[in-house]
Structure 1
Amino acid sequence: MSELSSETKWSSLEKIGFRFISIYFLLIVLFQNNGAFPFWYKIFKIPQGWLNKLIPWMGANVYGVPYEISIKLTGSGDTTFDYLVILTAFLVAIITAILWSILDRKRNNYIKLYYWLTLAVRYYVGLMLISYGLVKVIQLQFSYPGPYRLISSYGESSPMGLAWTFLGFSKGYNLFMGIAELLAGLLLFRRTMTFGALVTLMTAMNIMAVNYFYDIPVKILSTHLVVMTLFLLSRDIKRLTIFFFKGVSTKLEVIKRPEFKKGINIAMNVFKGLLIGYVFIYGFINAIEAEKQYGSKAPKPDLYGVYEVTNFVINGDTITNYKNEKLWKSIAIQREGSMQIRKFDNSKEYFGIEKDSLVADKFKVTSWSDDSKSYDFNYKKVDSTGLDFDFIFERDTIYGASKRLDKKDFLLTKRGFHWISEYPYNR
């Protein structure tokens, strides 16, 4: 982009490109906000409702999508709905840029509009990464491997599950990633924008790479974070190239803010301070509370852990044939209200748990995949190391004994950290 002064005359290509980018980025910020701006879902509730009706209609009648387009939030940011929003924003930006270019073809530049666009992009990327950074510092996004994960093999993991296990294992690495993402806060200040964009580009590219190569459904968002950061760097790319690759001294210029009356300047600075304070302080407090609700400090179920089945008796007969489809290998309880049963063929089944309020050592279990598969599960703790259980299912009286596995029983959780390693311990 040309030098950004009020007297500069931009080339036709620069003006057309800026018109497209400004419309496209604006639509992304508005309709793919992902909670970057506080209270955005409440502020933008009505327009979002319009979009939720428009996109499925366009999908069926304009784009010819052969299946129903769901607007339900699923935790994925790469749904058909999301891709159609991006496609629609792209097409609207092209059409609008063409009309804008025809109607405003005599304008020299868009210096003031450039400032406001960079402001929106800086805060969108900065606040987005700050929110992600906070949940990594507190280690909420990538939780430490729980019982379900510890008894799963690598081959059973999805690429995303493998990434979550890898990233969640180390609290220190979570802290490192979180601090790197929090440094995107440098984008919120004009004087540190370029340095912040350099740091943020490396962080955002790493996020994008993990999302692409481990098939994590946040590809759309992470790609836009990279593209937007590159846009912020574009004004200084020539100077940075001269400095880093030619060794020639240069000077970076701070984006100039339009001149306002003193009262407006004060109001804008106060608002900025309140916004940043809210995002960091409330975000940190909210993350601490979330950690107590569903993070590492959340209350654990009474029977939390992995129990290796050591004895399994059906109708008085002890089952020792590992090929018997009824033989259990382990019981795992990780979350309140759920239980995982694993058999020797490595098949697993999840059950919902409904505690019996009248009987202490009893709960009702119901298969998540088959509601008719339900029975009363009686259990008895054996010291702190085991669990005996019995139940009746499909006319079979079943009794079992199990041994509780601790962290020391899993290589992943017992290996620890070593400064000195005579040989690589790659298992």
Structure 2
Amino acid sequence: MNTEKTSTLSRFFLLWLAGYVFFFIFPFPLRYIPFAYEWIGIPFSRLMESLNYFVGRQLPGIENLAYDGGRGSGDTSFDYVFLITRTLLSLLLAVVLFAFRKKAGWIQKAYPAMIVYARYFVGITLIEYGVAKFLIGQFPGPSLISMEQSFGDFSPMGLAWRFFGYSDLYKAFMGITEIMAGGLLLFRRTVVVGALLSMAVVTNIVLVNFSFDVPVKILSSHLLLFSVLILAPYIKQLFRLLVLHRPGQLSYQPRTFLSPKKKWAYLLVKFYMVVFVPVSMLVGHVLSQSYRSFDNPWEGAYEILSDGDDMVDLKSDAKWARVILDGKRLLIERVSGDKSYYSIVEVGENGVISLSGSAEGKDTPTLHLREEGEEYQLAATFGDEQFTLKAKRKMKSDYFLLSRGFHWINEYPLNR
């Protein structure tokens, strides 16, 4: 009787877990299918958001719960409430389905089906992570703005991003391992190796997110959880083989099809997920370099040497101390430490730079740079204000961090 009760509870738990996996992952992979996300994914997401608002209003201590997908954070209050919503919703679904388990034999297959679903989700996500590690992507190289920033002013996440972004070799290593883990998960023959590699790769991601306060803790933790669940059916065989050193064999059942149509449908879906989606990620990332990169011949950190007579009327702490041109970005740092950021629209002939995104709300500010020996003249026009400055330029090659390079032989460690 106890064994039967335990078996019943176990089946119910697996059914609940299958529901939770589904509600966390869906509407994946609809955003990779033309029109499917607009027709199905968006309505489903809005329904889930409405349920989440309802649950959030019932919880004590939560006020002004709001969803803003443009924040770039996956650890908002809304996301944490979503964990409760998904848990309750999957519990409700499990109760309803479990009540009719005798009439619906397919329910017994729900958990294995969700493991396959999780396998594709983790695999595609890791491939997407890996692709972003190459070229200008998730971790850009050292920028002039970041190198002029005080070390103590970095956020923990900013520190991690600059650490990873420094080395193209290390980024490539991370990208290759993530793509390998994701790719291996997409095939049943290599799922065990893929799950083992995925656990190692995602564990590192989770530790980085928790150690450096990166707001992707929820997603990365679930990627690790799903990797463990994918490997779980093979734990006994792996333990027997790797720990006890006894003969063991991983089970593998070739897929069988009842009809040629089902076989071709499966192969078509498989090709789409395994080939088309990853290739489209790669192509999209390569094409994105056209707007991620920007050739700016005047790039540099300009330290103001003299402000001439045009800034006499300004208070001393409002005067410019430094101007940094970094790709498409321009930063003006004042003596007081206040900073204003602008976007560079165009770099014209003779050093005329057109700006937008003025923090002061001025129209079409411009900056005219001219080289005068070892110094530079900066003629700025910001609305009604016009002034000319003298500055000294510092380029990326002038920073020791970038000029140090790699050395096979180091007689003494250089750790400063």
When normalised by structure 1's length, the TM-score is: 0.84
> What residue ranges of structure 2 are gaps of 5+ in the alignment?
none
1:190 to partner: Cα distance: 0.8
1:424 to partner: Cα distance: 1.4
Is this contact kept in 2: 1:36–1:127, CA < 8 A? Answer: no
| Residue from 321, 325, 334 that aligns with 1:329 | 321
Is this contact kept in 1: 2:15–2:111, CA < 8 A? Answer: no
Bigger drift between 233-242 and 304-313 goes to: 304-313
Partner of 1:387: 376
- Superposed counterparts of 1:93-172, under 5 Å: 93-104=90-101, 112-172=109-169
1:305 to partner: Cα distance: 2.5
> Residues of 2 paired with 1:45 and 1:329: CA distance?
48
1:81 to partner: Cα distance: 2.2
Partner of 2:413: 424
> What residue ranges of structure 1 are gaps of 5+ in the alignment?
1-8
1:400 to partner: Cα distance: 1.5
The yes-or-no answer on 1:371 pairing with 2:334 is no
Q: Residue 267 of structure 1: SS of its match in structure 2?
A: helix
- Superposed counterparts of 1:127-276, under 5 Å: 127-183=124-180, 184-254=182-252, 257=255, 259-276=257-274
**Matched letter for residue 414 of structure 2:** Y
> Residues of 2 paired with 1:260 and 1:63: CA distance?
53
The number of aligned residues is 409
> Residues of 1 paired with 2:273 and 2:190: CA distance?
18
Partner of 2:282: 284
**Matched letter for residue 236 of structure 1:** Y
> Residues of 1 paired with 2:207 and 2:124: CA distance?
21
> Residues of 1 paired with 2:92 and 2:254: CA distance?
30
Is this contact kept in 2: 1:112–1:258, CA < 8 A? Answer: no
> Residues of 2 paired with 1:316 and 1:275: CA distance?
61
Q: RMSD over aligned Cα, in angstroms?
A: 3.4
Is this contact kept in 2: 1:139–1:174, CA < 8 A? Answer: no
Is this contact kept in 2: 1:36–1:124, CA < 8 A? Answer: no
- Superposed counterparts of 1:82-101, under 5 Å: 82-101=79-98
> Residues of 1 paired with 2:373 and 2:263: CA distance?
65
1:347 to partner: Cα distance: 4.1
Partner of 2:392: 403
Identity of aligned residues (%): 28
The yes-or-no answer on 1:15 pairing with 2:11 is yes
1:399 to partner: Cα distance: 3.1
The yes-or-no answer on 1:30 pairing with 2:4 is no
**Matched letter for residue 283 of structure 2:** I
Cα pair distance change 1:34/1:82, threshold 3 Å: farther
> Residues of 1 paired with 2:377 and 2:221: CA distance?
51
> Residues of 2 paired with 1:48 and 1:195: CA distance?
33
Deviations 1:38-89 (A, max 9, x none): 5563341221222333323432355662114133422111222222222200
When normalised by structure 2's length, the TM-score is: 0.86
> Residues of 1 paired with 2:395 and 2:330: CA distance?
17
**Matched letter for residue 237 of structure 1:** I
**Matched letter for residue 220 of structure 1:** I
The yes-or-no answer on 1:52 pairing with 2:49 is yes
More helix by share: 2
Cα pair distance change 1:161/1:41, threshold 3 Å: farther
